[in-house]
Amino acid sequence: MSGELFQGMTKEMLLEAWGEPDDREEELVRSTIKQTWKYNQVGVNRYKDRVYLESDVVVGWKST
């Protein structure tokens, strides 16, 4: 993969494209597992990129 993100990609595809995240957060909301994968740490609990997953599928991302 070329390192590009797209909505609907699976957790496995994200791992192949970007590798293991620097940090992860996870919460259970009703029956959905929501995760935030954090990449490119720039300070204490500060990350340049965040990828949002629901039930192991990418639903969005944010880059600063």
pTM reported for the whole predicted model: 0.91
Q: Is residue 4 part of a domain?
A: no
Q: Is residue 22 part of a domain?
A: yes
Domain count within the chain? 1
Q: Is residue 15 part of a domain?
A: yes
Q: Is residue 3 part of a domain?
A: no
* C-alpha dihedral (7, 39, 23, 44), degrees to nearest 10: -140
- Over residues 17-58, the pLDDT tens digits come to 999 999 999 999 999 999 999 999 999 989 999 999 999 999
Q: Does the pLDDT value for residue 12 go beyond 90?
A: yes
Structural domain harbouring 33: 11-63
Q: Is residue 29 part of a domain?
A: yes
Q: Is residue 5 part of a domain?
A: no
What one-character-per-residue DSSP string does 1-63 give?
--S---TT-BHHHHHHHH-S-SEEEEEEETTEEEEEEEEEEEETTEEEEEEEEETTEEEEEEE
Q: Is residue 47 part of a domain?
A: yes
Q: Is residue 2 part of a domain?
A: no
